[in-house]
Amino acid sequence: MQKKYKYSEERRQNISEGTIKAMADPQIRKKMRLAKLGKTSPRKGKKHTEEAKRKMRKSSKGQVAWNKGRTDLPSPSQETIQKRRLKMLAEKNPSWAADKIGYGGVHNWIAKKYGVADCCENKQCSKKSITFEWANISGKYRRDRKDFMKLCRSCHRKFDRGSLSLAVIKG
């Protein structure tokens, strides 16, 4: 086991100042980052013993979280929230699937982009339905408004089964 040293306050201050000065230099920071790159943590794959876990639980018991009850922490303004939201829209989002989107994803996209279907575009529909859906025309599920039409549930089912053609719907 390694012997622990007790540094004097003056020595600790010197170490602190040296570290701060070194971290301000981008070349030193880059060198340190490259030195650690690719190395795993020395604790990786190791488990704490039951005794160590018990000690950690005991030492943290009764401690209050650093931010509990704090009211001085700033909450983001509406402008900041809007900027963050815009940075994550569509292609900028890391989860954007582009053309590899599935059935549910393209339907969620069309409803979000163009709103919920609110009418039936079938000219010969009786319009008695209260439930409307986005129907895919080509069956390819592309992110294209021209590839979708609004239909009531009844017309949508008929269109999907093939008993209602696009020519009849468009009139």
For residue 55, is pLDDT > 90?
A: yes
CA distances from 55 to 42, 46, 64, 163 (A): 21, 17, 17, 71
Q: Please tell me the pTM assigned to this model.
A: 0.49
Please state the φ and ψ torsions of residue 144, each to the nearest 5 degrees. Answer: -145, 120
> Residue ranges of the alpha helices (H) in 25-61?
26-36, 50-60
In the chain, where the domains are located? 103-170
pLDDT reported for residue 3: 65
For residue range 71-129, list pLDDT tens digits in order.
888 889 999 999 998 888 877 887 778 778 888 888 888 888 899 999 998 888 887 88
